[in-house]
């Protein structure tokens, strides 16, 4: 079995676990807030965190650090990348205001009926803290871990970045298993996937994911609680939603800003730090004194001792060629996407007939 086949199987188990937990939690009634928190912990920590990790250790590699490397959690990035991620996260939220509006119009015109649930009741500050943890922090970490990190590992042999972005966006939208969320989450998923591919890390995507979810949460919080912060939020939201045209214009400006920021991020991540090689041994980096001498033309000490040439015999290592993944290796991944899409479509059908 290839690594792609095994990772695809892990993703399928994760998706099936999400669907089973959603069904089981439907039979539990502990109050709107508590039931939602329990479902979030089970879904995020178990089926998007612990289970994929244990299955990876059992099926792919027993090395503790292999999983972290595989899901691209250990990449070293420039501080500028994290600042760009913050800016992109804000723009993604603004873009999705317009995407959600358009998606809502499409669904309602097709006859889909939205269900206005009770949602979260912000009866105390503790509720807000729990909501930040369960709806912003946990999804930002665990969903990116599996839906981005593991999925990128499964698509490692796919050469086209466009194909990866489209597949990952479709998967991310479908995994929410709710047609009302499908459009906005698919768009956000494609943007975050592009960031992960170009940066080589899922950490910037975690930042973008958190910011988007946090702003959505604070909008819901401001609808129920009246204080200085929520008054500012309601004032801004009141201006944005005062006219559909304003929403669309803001989304278009955000889209342009995202395109610009993604280009900057791509260029930032594609510029490696310059390395001045030793004239005696190209494989050896110069010392600090040698770099200063090479740049400024004078030694850092009165009588520097010339560095003797260092000659090293080339080390020949036999590299076992890796086999490129075939169509059959993606069968579990295809089943995972199909299963998530089937549930999403069923929610659309249910919205039509009820």
pLDDT tens readout for residues 200-258: 999 999 999 999 999 999 999 999 999 998 999 999 988 888 888 999 999 999 999 99
Q: Of the candidates 227, 199, 201, 232, which has an alpha carbon nearest to the alpha carbon of residue 215?
A: 232
Token pair of 116 as six digits: 């206005």
Range of weakest confidence among 47-56, 107-116, 130-139, 306-315: 306-315
Q: What was the pLDDT predicted at 1?
A: 80
Residue at 313 is within a domain = no
Please report whether residue 8 resides in a domain.
yes
Does any domain span residue 162?
Answer: yes
- Per-residue pLDDT tens digits for 48-99: 999 999 999 999 999 888 999 999 998 889 999 999 999 999 999 999 999 9
Per the document, the length of the chain is 354
CA distances from 240 to 95, 188, 236 (A): 12, 20, 6
Domain membership of residue 206 (yes or no) is yes
Q: Which pTM was predicted? A: 0.84
Secondary structure string (H, E, C) spanning 219-266: HHHHCCCCCHHHHHHHHHHHHHCCCHHHHHHHHHHHHHHHHHHHHHHH
Q: Please indicate, yes or no, if residue 310 is contained in any of the structural domains.
A: no
Closest CA to 97 of 262, 244, 258, 261: 244
**What CA dihedral angle connects 198, 194, 50 and 216, to 10 degrees?**
130
- Compute the distance between CA of residue 345 and CA of residue 178 in angstroms, rounded to an integer: 8
Give the integer Cα–Cα distance in Å for 68 and 72: 6
Contacting residues for 154 by C-beta, under 8 A, at least 6 apart = 4, 7, 8, 11, 330, 333
311 is a domain residue: no
Confidence check: pLDDT of 11 > 70 = yes
> Can you give the residue range of the structural domain that contains 338?
3-301+328-353
Report yes or no on 254 lying in a domain: yes
Residue 258 counted as domain residue: yes
Number of domains in the chain: 1
- Closest residue by Cα to residue 139 from 217, 16, 44: 44
Question: How far is C-alpha 91 from the chain's CA centre?
Answer: 15
Report residue 37's pLDDT band, with 50, 70 and 90 as the boundaries: confident
Among 99, 116, 86, smallest CA distance to 212 is for 86
């Amino acid at each position: 079995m290839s690594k792609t086949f095994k990772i695809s199987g892990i993703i399928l188990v994760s998706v099936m676990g999400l669907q089973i937990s959603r069904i089981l939690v439907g039979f539990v009634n502990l109050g709107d807030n508590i039931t939602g928190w329990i479902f979030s912990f089970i879904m995020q920590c178990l089926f998007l965190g612990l289970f994929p990790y244990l299955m990876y250790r059992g099926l792919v590699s027993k090395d503790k650090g292999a999983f972290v490397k595989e899901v691209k959690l250990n990449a070293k990035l420039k501080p500028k990348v994290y600042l760009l991620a913050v800016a992109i996260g804000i723009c993604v939220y603004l873009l999705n205001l317009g995407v959600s509006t358009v998606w809502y119009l499409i669904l309602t015109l097709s006859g889909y009926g939205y269900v206005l649930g009770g949602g979260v009741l912000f009866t105390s500050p503790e509720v807000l803290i729990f909501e930040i943890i369960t709806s912003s922090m946990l999804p930002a970490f665990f969903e990116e871990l599996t839906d981005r990190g593991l999925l990128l590992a499964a698509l490692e042999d796919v050469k086209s970045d466009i194909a990866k972005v489209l597949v990952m966006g479709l998967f991310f939208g479908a995994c929410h298993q709710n047609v009302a969320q499908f459009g906005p989450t698919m768009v956000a998923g494609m943007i975050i996937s592009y960031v992960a591919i170009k940066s080589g890390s899922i950490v910037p995507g975690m930042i973008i994911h958190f910011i988007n979810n946090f702003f959505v949460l604070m909008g819901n919080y401001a609808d129920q609680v009246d204080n200085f912060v929520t008054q500012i939020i309601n004032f801004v939201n009141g201006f944005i939603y005062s006219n559909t045209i304003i929403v669309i214009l803001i989304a278009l400006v955000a889209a342009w800003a995202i395109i610009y920021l993604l280009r900057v991020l791509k260029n930032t991540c594609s510029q490696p730090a310059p390395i001045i090689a030793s004239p005696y041994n190209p494989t050896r980096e110069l010392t600090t004194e040698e770099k200063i001498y090479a740049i400024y033309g004078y030694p850092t000490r009165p009588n520097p001792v010339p560095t003797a040439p260092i000659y090293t015999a080339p080390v020949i290592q036999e590299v076992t060629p890796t086999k490129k993944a075939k169509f059959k290796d993606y069968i579990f991944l295809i089943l995972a996407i199909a299963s998530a899409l089937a549930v999403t479509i069923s929610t659309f059908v249910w919205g039509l007939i009820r």
